């Protein structure tokens, strides 16, 4: 079955990506996710605290500030809640957006090592790749939010579907969109339009689920460990930032090379010297 084959390809590419990263010195690129991890960790905790404080203020019975004051307080509650959502609950998409320049460069470097393909540095093209990466991440966030909260959630409510089933399906939906966002970096270099990229990923949905699934589990599994310390919980919730992005983009590039043979890319230049290929 095509779906199962693509799923297996995605998982096996993650296994290969570990040795690839170690062999080719990609460990140094983890410094940037480490810095991003610190930023997200700090601001996520701060916004979470502000959201809680604002909510506690809204719950108090001493409304001495009148109607305007209560409306302003409501706006503050929603604003801090939104920031908390972005820096805590939607971290996986923020990471893709913030790391877009790094992910685009890493994907190119991975392809170069695998195939000898070279892409002449072009700042305009890099900015275009970054803009598309951010745009795709935003589209995926909106699409996932729309499907989960505007379609799937009402269906579960009307049919009385158990919360466990709701959560499982919601997570699986996220797998697809995360994977799409990473594979699209390669589709961009192949000059596929966003519409063509959508069509490609529908055809190879198994690959998207595998790439996005492992990426997501790097966040999900540590977050299942519950401690009595808010800082520790925040650390575990965002632990995936350290390794998941680099692993995901390398795995996506390896998988796409096996799927479409990037040697045939007509938009790349070949190295004039021999290149040792990594299987």
Q: For 148-161, what is each residue's pLDDT tens digit?
A: 777 887 888 888 88
Q: What is the pLDDT of residue 167?
A: 82
Q: Is residue 52 part of a domain?
A: no
Render pLDDT for 256-265 as a digit per residue (tens, 0 to 9). 999 999 998 8
Q: Is residue 168 part of a domain?
A: yes
Mean pLDDT for the stretch of residues 237-250: 88
Residues whose CB is less than 8 angstroms from the CB of residue 258 and which lie 6 or more positions away in sequence, other chains included: 9, 13
Render pLDDT for 36-57 as a digit per residue (tens, 0 to 9). 777 766 676 666 666 566 556 5
Q: What is the pLDDT of residue 61?
A: 47
Which has the higher per-residue pLDDT, 226 or 218?
A: 218
In this prediction the pTM is 0.79
Residues whose CB is less than 8 angstroms from the CB of residue 29 and which lie 6 or more positions away in sequence, other chains included: 102, 106, 246
Q: Is residue 48 part of a domain?
A: no
Q: Is residue 210 part of a domain?
A: yes
The total domain count for the chain is 1
Quick one: tokens of 166? 């709701």
Which has the higher per-residue pLDDT, 106 or 222?
A: 106
Q: What is the pLDDT of residue 133?
A: 86
For 224-257, b/e burial (b = at least 16 CB within 10 A) is eeeeeeeeebbbbbbbbbebbbbbbbbbbbbbbb
Q: Is 238 helix (H, G, I), strand (E, B) or coil?
A: coil
Q: Is 269 helix (H, G, I), strand (E, B) or coil?
A: strand
- For 199, the domain range is 2-33+88-265
Q: Is residue 65 part of a domain?
A: no
Q: Is 117 helix (H, G, I), strand (E, B) or coil?
A: strand
Q: Is residue 11 part of a domain?
A: yes
Q: Is residue 135 part of a domain?
A: yes
| Residue the block writes with tokens 């996220």 | 174
CA–CA dist 241, 275 (Å, integer): 31
Q: Is residue 49 part of a domain?
A: no
Q: What is the pLDDT of residue 226?
A: 80
């Amino acid at each position: 079955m095509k779906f199962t084959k693509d799923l297996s390809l995605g998982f096996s590419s993650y296994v290969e990506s570990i040795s690839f990263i170690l062999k080719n010195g990609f460990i140094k690129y983890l410094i940037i996710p480490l810095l991003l991890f610190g930023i997200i960790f700090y601001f996520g905790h701060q916004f979470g605290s502000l959201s809680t404080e604002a909510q506690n203020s809204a719950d108090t019975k001493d409304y001495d500030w009148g109607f305007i004051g209560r409306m302003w307080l409501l706006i503050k509650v929603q604003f801090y809640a939104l920031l908390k959502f972005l820096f805590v609950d939607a971290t996986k998409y923020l990471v893709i957006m913030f790391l877009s320049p790094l992910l685009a460069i890493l994907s190119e470097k991975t392809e170069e090592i695998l195939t000898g393909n070279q892409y002449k540095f072009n700042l305009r093209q890099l900015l275009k790749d970054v803009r598309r990466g951010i745009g795709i991440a935003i589209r995926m966030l909106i699409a996932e939010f729309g499907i989960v909260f505007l379609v799937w959630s009402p269906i579960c409510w009307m049919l009385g579907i158990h919360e466990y089933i709701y959560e499982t399906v919601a997570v699986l939906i996220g797998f697809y969109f995360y994977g799409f966002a990473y594979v699209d970096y390669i589709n961009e270099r192949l000059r596929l339009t966003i519409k063509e990229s959508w069509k490609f990923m529908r055809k190879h949905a198994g690959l998207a689920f595998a790439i996005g699934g492992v990426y997501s589990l790097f966040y999900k599994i540590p977050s299942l460990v519950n401690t009595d310390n808010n800082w520790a919980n925040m650390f575990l919730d965002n632990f995936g930032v350290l390794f998941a992005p680099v692993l995901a983009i390398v795995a996506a590039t390896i998988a796409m090379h096996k799927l479409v043979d990037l040697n045939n890319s007509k938009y790349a230049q070949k190295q004039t010297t021999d290149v040792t290929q990594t299987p």
